[in-house]
């Protein structure tokens, strides 16, 4: 059995593990943190169980590879149970002192700290700290407690959740329900908010008079092939600024290039705009893209099931491990150094954040890859946050996402409770939950007058709340659909930034930086194969057919690496969807390649020129 070592338990690394373990490989995954999911995972705040994520994430219709994986991850339909308040036996066992005493009984978890002194048999309860209460009752000869209604009623006063339903599952425990079924049937419908507008139905959009010019740009990208590299290096927004109306420019800037693409809007290229719109034409209307989201926090809808499934298949997860160095002989990898220990394998897959990979490559005497990753490095400071309310906050019935385009930080958020419904625990005392992202935290805020990265966590949250609450259109929406309610700080029960963002005394910085496409890093995106015969690179930053940093590109990259390895071992390839153009577009691209080789304008300009010449000739003949 051939062995594969995967470094990084993000979506790409997990995809490789999934595809290869099903083909009989022995797979080990080494992860820097203590959980899987990478940038996509969700984390609950320990003190109040409020779910947080780096950013809310949409699942677009063109996510063919991503959907393929989701449909192959067996899951349990947990909507009928309050899974979000569940605890593992391992977690319960940590609460075993007189001042912090938890027990579990019949799949329910209880915090009985205050009950110890009130109960005459408190000493027995102390013995049960962090354990199964039923077993302790039996050991101490008081098993009659299990059939006593008074005892049960008294215990229920102290219930804090349920026993983790994933605990102890084997292969047969999974149903036909998959992670794909956790995608909500409710589509994302986003409204662009303006600060000085009180009409709750008014929002900006692309002006019809700009359709011809934008269509020209779109076709120029789609009908290009070899010329496209130049378009990847062409900044999009400066190109259109003086050529479209302000309404169109604002729509493309603060929605399409920010929330839509998830890219730093100042660094979006012409090619990325064209490709993104093209994917919408291929699989949905570009104006009604049919974007879906998960019906609960991402880790609880997807990753917890994925890890359990892979473990049942034999994948070994090793957490809190840092890759130090790759040892090689210029032909193949000999071994890797993890936490100063040697890791020897047949194949090595590196699915690390590009920022982390730079340090490893520098130490490993791989100058070409090091230089490539160095140029790949970009700065993206989009900051995730949640705001929890002590009252139910309704938004417009046909909208669940909002983008405050006039806010200095270009804040986007969506109403999680509206999408998730009543079956997901939002946190202790939480009635409504907004999850969002500051797209442009580099701008000076309207409260502190500073970029978000120069604020403490507490100041940043204050700034975000201030920017949202000063939006008149948002206030009018809340007032209209909540019986005159005014958004104020009194309604905020809890607010925080995603845990990744920490104040180091000088600036607010992400522990694990997010990589995104820009107009200058496309040429440095690595291919899966490297100069070493058994070394592969995976991740959303790698070359894929989609060429846009998304969950889809992460899964596709994982499948590309998997097929490279399967080809090497003469094994059947895994399913991989390649984004492609139809035959007509391919033919036009070949014509454009000829024009490009002759240093002539692109095919669209040429066709327009020919059409104008024909019209002119026809006119003069008359």
pLDDT digits (tens, 9 = 90+) for 294-309: 989 999 999 999 999 9
pLDDT digits (tens, 9 = 90+) for 93-137: 888 887 788 888 766 788 888 776 665 555 667 777 788 877 777
Q: What are the backbone angles phi and psi of residue 611, rounded to the nearest 5°?
A: -65, -40
Number of domain units in the chain:
5
User: Residue 393 above 80 pLDDT?
Assistant: yes
Query: Are 397 and 187 contacting, i.e. CB atoms less than 8 angstroms apart?
Result: no
Q: Please give the Cα distance from 353 to 37 (Å, whole number).
A: 12
Same domain, 494 and 395: yes
Tell me the C-alpha to C-alpha distance, in Å, between residue 32 and each of 15, 29, 54, 545: 17, 10, 17, 28
Q: CA nearest 271: which of 239, 238, 216, 233? A: 233
Q: How large is the angle between the packed helices 270-283 and 211-222, nearest 10 degrees?
A: 90
Q: CA nearest 348: which of 196, 195, 529? A: 529
Within 8 A by CB and 6+ apart from 467, the residues are 404, 407, 408, 409, 411, 445, 446, 447
Same domain, 397 and 500: yes
Same domain, 373 and 480: no
Same domain, 134 and 227: no
Q: What are the backbone angles phi and psi of residue 451, rounded to the nearest 5°?
A: -65, 155
Range of the domain at 611: 583-621
- Among 133, 163, 193, give the residue marking a domain's end: 163
Helix or strand or coil: residue 265?
helix
**Token pair for 166:** 């994933």
pLDDT digits (tens, 9 = 90+) for 548-579: 888 999 999 999 999 999 999 999 999 999 98
Q: Is 49 inside any structural domain?
A: no
DSSP for 169-190, please give it: --GGG--S-BGGGGEEEEEP-E
CATH number at residue 497: 3.30.9
Lowest mean pLDDT, pick from 88-102, 155-169, 317-331, 462-476: 155-169
Q: Is 134 inside any structural domain?
A: yes
Q: What pLDDT does 111 receive?
A: 82
Using alpha carbons only, how large is the chain's radius of gyration in Å? 27
Q: Is 320 inside any structural domain?
A: yes
CB-CB neighbours of 484 under 10 Å = 7
Same domain, 451 and 415: yes
- Among 238, 271, 290, give the residue marking a domain's end: 290
pLDDT digits (tens, 9 = 90+) for 483-514: 999 999 999 999 999 988 898 888 998 888 88
Q: What percent of the chain has pLDDT over 70?
A: 90
Same domain, 393 and 486: yes
Q: Is 172 inside any structural domain?
A: no
pLDDT digits (tens, 9 = 90+) for 219-270: 999 999 999 989 999 999 999 999 999 999 998 888 887 777 777 777 889 9
Q: Is 448 inside any structural domain?
A: yes
Q: Please give the Cα distance from 270 to 272 (Å, whole number).
A: 6
Same domain, 472 and 453: yes
CATH number at residue 537: 3.50.50.60
User: Residue 286 above 60 pLDDT?
Assistant: no
Segment 522-539 shows an average pLDDT of 94
Q: What pLDDT does 81 receive?
A: 39
User: Residue 78 above 70 pLDDT?
Assistant: no
Q: What pLDDT does 279 receive?
A: 75
Cα dihedral angle (440, 298, 52, 421), rounded to 10 degrees?
Answer: 110
Q: What pLDDT does 69 receive?
A: 97
Segment 533-552 shows an average pLDDT of 92
Q: Is 196 inside any structural domain?
A: no
Q: How large is the angle between the packed helices 551-568 and 11-21, nearest 10 degrees?
A: 40
pLDDT digits (tens, 9 = 90+) for 314-333: 999 999 999 999 999 999 99
Segment 156-175 shows an average pLDDT of 57
Tell me the C-alpha to C-alpha distance, in Å, between residue 388 and each of 51, 133, 250, 415, 481: 10, 34, 29, 10, 18
Q: Is 188 inside any structural domain?
A: no
CATH number at residue 109: 3.10.120.10
Q: What pLDDT does 614 receive?
A: 82
Beta strands 323-328; 333-338: pairing state:
antiparallel
pLDDT digits (tens, 9 = 90+) for 4-17: 999 999 999 999 99
The mean pLDDT of the chain is 87
Same domain, 389 and 501: yes
Beta strands 401-404; 411-415: pairing state:
antiparallel
Q: What angle do CA 441, 48, 166 make, to 5 degrees?
A: 105
Same domain, 408 and 501: yes
Same domain, 435 and 485: yes
Tell me the C-alpha to C-alpha distance, in Å, between residue 549 and each of 299, 370, 416, 512, 558: 20, 21, 24, 16, 13
Q: Is 76 inside any structural domain?
A: no
Q: Supply the pTM of this predicted model.
A: 0.82
Same domain, 141 and 254: no
Same domain, 212 and 310: no
Q: What angle do CA 463, 465, 471 make, to 5 degrees?
A: 105
User: Residue 84 above 50 pLDDT?
Assistant: no
Q: What percent of the chain has pLDDT over 90?
A: 54
Q: Is 33 exposed, middle or buried (0-12, 13-18, 19+ CB in 10 A)?
A: middle
């Amino acid at each position: 059995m051939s062995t594969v070592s995967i470094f990084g338990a993000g979506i790409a690394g997990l995809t490789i593990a999934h595809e290869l373990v099903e083909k009989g490989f022995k797979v080990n995954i080494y992860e820097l943190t203590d959980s899987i999911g990478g940038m996509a995972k969700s984390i609950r705040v320990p003190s109040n169980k409020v779910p947080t994520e780096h950013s809310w994430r949409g699942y677009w219709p063109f996510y063919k590879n991503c959907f393929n994986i989701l449909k192959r991850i067996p899951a349990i339909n947990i909507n009928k149970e309050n899974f979000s308040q569940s605890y593992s036996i391992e977690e319960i066992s940590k609460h075993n002192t007189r001042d912090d005493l938890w027990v579990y009984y019949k799949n329910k978890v209880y915090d009985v700290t205050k009950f110890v002194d009130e109960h005459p048999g408190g000493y027995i309860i102390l013995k049960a700290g962090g354990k199964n209460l039923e077993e302790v009752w039996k050991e101490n000869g008081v098993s009659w407690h299990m059939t006593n209604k008074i005892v049960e009623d008294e215990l229920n006063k102290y219930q804090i959740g349920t026993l983790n339903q994933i605990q102890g599952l084997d292969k047969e425990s999974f149903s036909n329900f998959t992670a794909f079924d956790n995608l909500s049937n409710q589509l994302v419908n986003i409204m662009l908010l303006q600060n000085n507008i009180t009409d709750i139905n008014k929002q900006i959009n692309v002006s019809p008079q700009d359709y011809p010019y934008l269509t020209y740009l779109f076709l120029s990208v789609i009908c290009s092939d070899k010329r496209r590299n130049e378009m990847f290096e062409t900044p999009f927004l400066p190109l259109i600024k003086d050529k479209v109306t302000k309404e169109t420019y604002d729509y493309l800037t603060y929605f399409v290039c920010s929330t839509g693409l998830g890219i730093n809007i100042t660094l979006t290229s012409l090619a990325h705009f064209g490709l993104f719109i093209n994917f919408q034409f291929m699989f949905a209307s570009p104006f009604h893209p049919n974007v879906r989201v998960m019906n609960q926090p991402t880790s609880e809808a997807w990753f917890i099931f994925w890890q359990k499934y892979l473990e049942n298949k034999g994948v070994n997860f090793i957490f809190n491990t840092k890759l130090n160095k790759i040892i090689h002989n210029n032909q193949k990898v000999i071994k890797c150094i993890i936490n100063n220990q040697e890791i020897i394998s047949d194949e090595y897959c590196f699915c690390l954040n590009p920022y982390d990979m730079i340090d490893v490559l520098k130490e490993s005497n791989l100058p070409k890859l090091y230089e490539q990753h160095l140029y790949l490095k970009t700065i993206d400071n989009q900051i995730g946050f949640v705001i929890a309310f002590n009252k139910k906050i309704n938004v417009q019935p046909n909208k669940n996402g909002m983008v405050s385009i006039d806010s200095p930080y270009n804040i986007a958020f969506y109403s999680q409770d509206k999408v998730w419904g009543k079956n997901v625990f939002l946190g202790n005392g939480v009635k409504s939950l907004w999850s969002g992202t500051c797209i442009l935290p580099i701008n000076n805020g309207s409260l502190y007058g500073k970029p978000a990265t120069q604020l403490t966590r507490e100041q940043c949250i204050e700034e975000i709340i201030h920017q949202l609450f000063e939006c008149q259109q948002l206030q009018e929406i809340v007032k209209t659909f909540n019986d005159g309610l005014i958004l104020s700080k009194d309604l905020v029960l809890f607010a925080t930034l995603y845990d990744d963002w920490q104040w180091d005394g000088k600036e607010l910085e992400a522990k694990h930086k997010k990589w995104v496409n820009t107009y200058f890093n496309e040429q440095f995106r690595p291919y899966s194969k490297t100069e070493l015969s058994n070394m592969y690179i995976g991740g959303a930053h790698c070359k894929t057919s989609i060429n846009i940093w998304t969950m889809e590109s992460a899964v596709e990259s994982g499948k590309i690496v998997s097929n490279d390895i399967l080809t090497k071992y003469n094994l059947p390839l895994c399913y991989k969807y390649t984004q492609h153009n139809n035959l007509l577009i391919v033919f036009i691209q070949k014509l454009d390649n000829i024009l490009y080789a002759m240093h002539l304008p692109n095919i669209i300009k040429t066709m327009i020129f020919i059409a104008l010449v024909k019209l002119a000739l026809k006119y003069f003949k008359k």
